[in-house]
């Protein structure tokens, strides 16, 4: 019988390093991948809300060991050089990034799109994942 991987979900209520857009919302760990959910909303700085994309080099870094977990899939956000162009300054986008699987142990991670970030890059630091704070997902009904 095929073993069903255990999936642990963390809701992140306080945005890491105060970055509000995109908001890092949830981290979901299982044996096949690590998924991070984000929410982005457009704002008046850009015409028609501008655009978003994600760099293919984006990775998760385990803070203590410096081990990197690479991006494997992006859902609802194009991988650079493609872009998602918004239609208005009031649009929003929910998207998920999939990475190589993190171990299911207590750890602190950084999500790095660019190691020399500008204001527009999606870098997040010091996301603490304590297993006791996670909840198990009912895999049979998984999204």
Partner 1 sequence: MGVKNYAQQRYKVIDNLLTNSMRRYPTMEDIIEKCEERIDRRPSFETIQKDIATMKLSPPDGFYAPIKFNASQRGYEYTDPDFSIDKIGLNDHDIESLKEAIDLIKSIGGARVSTKFSHAVEKILSSYKERFPKSDYSRTIVQTDTPPTSRGFEHFDLFFKACKDRIPVSMVHYSYNNRRFKPLTIHPMILKEFDNKWYVVGYSEFHDSLRTFGVDRIYAPQPIFKEFIKAQSSEIDTYLNDTYGVYPLDNEKKQIIKIAASALATNYLEAYPIHESQHLEKHQRGNSTITFDLVPSMELISYFMSYGNEIRVIKPSWIASLIQEKTQVI
Q: Which residue has the tokens 């998207």?
A: 95
Minimum distance, C-beta of residue 65 to partner 1, in the bound complex (Å): 27
b/e sequence 22-34, b meaning 16+ C-beta within 10 Å: bbbbebbbbeebb
Kindly tell me which of 67 and 89 has the beta carbon lying closer to partner 1.
89
Minimum distance, C-beta of residue 105 to partner 1, in the bound complex (Å): 19
The CA-atom distances, in angstroms, between 75 and each of 3, 35, 58, 65, 121 are 25, 10, 14, 28, 18
Q: Which of 92, 114, 131, 133 binds partner 1 (CB under 8 A)?
A: 92
How many residues sit in the footprint of partner 1 (CB under 8 A)?
22
Q: Site residues for partner 1, window 28-47 (CB under 8 A)?
A: 28, 37, 39, 41
Q: Are strands 92-99 and 84-85 parallel, antiparallel or unpaired?
A: unpaired
The residue ranges that bind partner 1 (CB under 8 A) are: 9, 11-13, 23, 25-26, 28, 37, 39, 41, 90, 92, 94, 96, 135-138, 141-143
């Amino acid at each position: 019988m095929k073993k069903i991987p255990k999936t642990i979900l963390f809701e992140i209520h306080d945005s890491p390093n105060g970055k509000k857009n995109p908001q890092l919302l949830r981290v979901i760990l299982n044996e096949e991948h690590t998924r991070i959910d984000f929410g982005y909303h457009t704002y008046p700085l850009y015409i028609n809300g501008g655009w978003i994309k994600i760099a293919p080099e984006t990775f998760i870094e385990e803070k203590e060991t410096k081990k990197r977990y690479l991006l494997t899939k992006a859902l609802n956000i194009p991988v650079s050089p493609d872009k998602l162009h918004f239609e208005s300054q009031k649009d929003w986008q929910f998207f998920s990034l999939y990475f190589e699987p993190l171990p299911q142990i207590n750890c602190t991670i950084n999500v790095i799109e660019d190691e020399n970030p500008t204001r527009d890059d999606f870098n997040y630091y010091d996301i603490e994942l304590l297993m006791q704070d996670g909840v198990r997902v009912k895999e049979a009904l998984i999204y």
